[in-house]
Amino acid sequence: MTPGSGALRTWETVDLRHLTGSTAGEGFMHELAIAENIVDTVCTRAAGRPVRRVILRIGALTAVLPDTMRFCFELAATGTAAHGAALDLDLRPAVVFCRVCRSERRLPDLIPLCPCGSADVTVTTGRELDIVAMEVA
């Protein structure tokens, strides 16, 4: 498949069944559901004006993959006021405050566990999933 080909005109005609059988299918549907939600939200706020750009903040712990998100956004936006809108991603690392280290530590992976081994942590950043801003024509 080629994101950006322009061949997809309406949401209803897109058959996604071929994507759900693989191990990556669930993840893809996760991003697609989020993308649809974003498109709905920005189109409502745009009140009929074309959406030019959407800035989305994504934390690493949301398990949203940037490339998949871009593709799903484009798919979800097809035929809406957000059709062709640019999607800017503000990616946030997973950071925890560790009560053993008494400091903020960046996580090397997506498990909320301090690099020192302590699980006595509070997630500081990494769970964000927000529409930060949007631009309308």
The total of other beta-carbon atoms located within 10 Å of residue 99's CB is 13
113 near Zn ion (CB under 5 A) = no
- Beta strands in 36-85, from DSSP E residues, in sequence order: 51-59
CA 88 to chain centre: 10
Instruction: Say how far apart CA 118 and CA 131 lie, in whole Å.
Output: 32
Residue from 101, 113, 123, 129 that binds Zn ion (CB under 5 A)?
101
The distance of closest approach from Cβ of residue 119 to Zn ion in the complex, given in angstroms and rounded to an integer, is 9
- Please, which residue, 14 or 100, has the CB nearer to Zn ion? 100
- Please, which residue, 65 or 113, has the CB nearer to Zn ion? 113
Structure letter (DSSP) for residue 120: -
100 near Zn ion (CB under 5 A) = yes
95 near Zn ion (CB under 5 A) = no
